[in-house]
Amino acid sequence: MTKLIWCLILAPFFCAAQTYTIKSLNENTKTSIRGLSVVNDKIAWVSGSNGSVGKTLDGGLTWRWIKPNGYEKLDFRDIEAFNEKEAILVNAGSPAYILKTVDGGESWLETYKNVDTAIFLDGLGFWDKNRAIIFGDPINNKMKLLKTVNEGSVWLDISSNLAVPLTNGEAGFAASGTTIKTLPGGKIWIASGGTVSNIYFSPDYGSTWQIFSCPIWQGESTTGPFSIDFYNARIGVVVGGNYIKDKDNSNNILLTNDGGKTWSKPETPVKGFRSGVAYLDKNTLVATGTSGTDVSKDGGKNWEHISDLSFNSVQKAKKGKLILLAGNRGFIYQLQIK
């Protein structure tokens, strides 16, 4: 009886304590992985430098590596996969390409190309299989916005929908392809950084926009938000900092309870610069970056450092429990929670 009472009083801090283990699934591949799309507990795709795309069909036990013909030198910063056959790829830099496969990567269709020397696409977000949006760095102070309504077969330029020009030196970060977040019903959030940091929100598939200030570390080309996630239309998180000072945690994580209009600092922050963040459920979040990985069990208010290993991105399966982290040198690890 005494033990039962002790557990009831102190739970969940001791009796229901969780353990976190990071398990290696792939290493020493000659690619820096930034794009990550975890479909379910078996299927996941990754993408990165040197034109590399990886795919697993067994939960990460084995990986097949693909290089789309003719695009072997590209840096694929973002990928969206729907199953073992269909995926969309986006590269960073100029020329900019969007590629699509429907046969598991055996062949790729070029659905968009832009040779403007200023083009730099940062991230991709799907509302459903048909509708998606891509954003990129500003050209002549106008954020590049592309939209599809037919599964990525055709991309329309909707940059003119965002009438307000960006500030000089304001741009996006493509460290993990996750400074963009879409939710059902047409909601979208895009985070910018550099000289100034803002959150660009659209409630209607990118037709109209609102702009909210984001008071994260900013003011230099290396500072700002590097990843954003929303649990629902109100509750969200943004992480970042300064990637050349990756152990400094002065002001690199913020929380919102009103859809990004206002932001507040957590009680205990992450340990350093972070370029990936994801909600596992309403209370549990994971954030990762080049100086390690942290987990929160109270909705982002307090964070526990669980690893010093360097990663770029993190994602939980859209349908399932598989959680993957990816980074340089082909690092793909699984986060196991027990």
User: What are 234-271's pLDDT values in tens digits?
Assistant: 999 999 999 999 999 999 999 999 999 999 999 999 99
Q: Which of 8-12, 34-38, 191-195 has the lowest mean pLDDT?
A: 8-12
| Per-residue pLDDT at 97 | 98
Q: Does residue 334 carry a pLDDT above 70?
A: yes
The average pLDDT across 101-109 equals: 98
| Per-residue pLDDT at 16 | 54
Average pLDDT, the chain: 94
152 backbone dihedrals φ, ψ, rounded to 5°: 85, 10
C-alpha–C-alpha distance, residues 101 and 79, integer Å: 11
Residue 41 pLDDT level (bands cut at 50, 70, 90): very high
What single string gives the DSSP state of each residue in 247-306?
Answer: T--SS-EEEESSTTSS-B--SB--SS--SEEEESSSS-EEEEETTEEEEESSTTSB-EEE
Pick the CATH number of 20-337 from 1.10.10.10, 3.40.640.10, 3.90.850.10, 2.130.10.10: 2.130.10.10
Q: Are 97 and 71 in contact (CB under 8 A)?
A: yes
| Per-residue pLDDT at 14 | 39
C-alpha–C-alpha distance, residues 258 and 278, integer Å: 18
Residue 28 pLDDT level (bands cut at 50, 70, 90): confident
Q: Does residue 8 carry a pLDDT above 80?
A: no
The two tokens of residue 106 are 């055996």
C-alpha–C-alpha distance, residues 70 and 74, integer Å: 9
Q: Does residue 1 carry a pLDDT above 80?
A: no
Q: Which residue has the tokens 């990118």?
A: 206
Instruction: Kindly state the DSSP code that residue 126 receives in the 8-state scheme.
Output: E
| Per-residue pLDDT at 12 | 42
- Contacts of residue 50, defined as CB under 8 A and 6 or more positions apart, other chains included, come to 30, 31, 67, 72, 73, 75
- Give the pLDDT confidence of 185-214 residue by residue, as tens digits: 999 999 999 999 999 999 999 999 999 999
Query: Helix, strand or coil for residue 109?
Result: strand
Residue 11 pLDDT level (bands cut at 50, 70, 90): very low
